[in-house]
Amino acid sequence: MTQPFFPPQFFILLGIDIFLGGSIVTVTFDDHFPTGLPYVMDIGAAVGFLQLVMIPQYLTGFPTVMEFYYSSAYAVIAVLAVLGSNLYLLFVRRKTMLAGVFAIAATLPSILVVAYFISAYTSSVTVSLPILPFLGWTAVWGAFVGASAILVIAMVIIRMGRRGNAEA
């Protein structure tokens, strides 16, 4: 069994980042999301920070595999919160264009990053999980560049649509 190149608590840090990023996005597009959603995302990030503070006291006797499950579950919950925000845009608000942009700019990259790091961790440590393919950095960077390009294209299309409505 080889040593992983990062501790399992890294997934909690990753989840905190995803919660805070989701909070920033929902604040930026506050017209399209419920008023309390950014605060829920901030509370999720605060819970993750408290977990980081408490882990050395309570999880010292547990094996690394249990720490991995505990920490990766938090990261997956953070991704599910972003996915839930995306589904809210799609099904409740019926904003398909904005939901598509949100999916490509926020949801897909967060899913790929968490999947990459879980795959990297499970490839270096013996953990009983279903077989996960190893995602290389090219897949993560490709998703980031593709999401950025689609976000810019969508912003141009939305801007052109507003300009057309203003002239009419």
pLDDT at 127: 47
Give the span between the Cα atoms of 166 and 111, in whole angstroms.
38
For the chain, give every domain's residue range: 10-167
3-state percent breakdown (helix, strand, coil) of the chain, nearest 5: 75, 0, 25
Which segment, 38-47, 90-99, 148-157, is predicted with the most confidence on average? 38-47
pLDDT surpasses 60 at 48: yes
Give the span between the Cα atoms of 16 and 153, in whole angstroms.
29
pLDDT surpasses 70 at 129: no
DSSP, collapsed to helix, strand or coil, labels residue 157 as helix
pLDDT at 123: 76
pLDDT at 131: 61
* Tens-place pLDDT, residues 53-98: 887 777 667 787 888 888 999 999 999 999 999 999 989 988 888 8
* Tens-place pLDDT, residues 6-41: 888 899 999 999 999 999 888 888 788 888 999 999
Question: Is the pTM above the cut of 0.75?
Answer: no
pLDDT top residue among 161 and 33: 33
> What is the pLDDT confidence band of residue 113, given thresholds at 50, 70 and 90?
confident
Nearest Cα neighbor of 74 from 103, 50, 109, 102 is 50
pLDDT surpasses 70 at 162: no
Alpha-carbon distances, residue 105 vs 16, 117, 145 (angstroms): 18, 19, 10
Nearest Cα neighbor of 147 from 116, 106, 94, 98 is 106
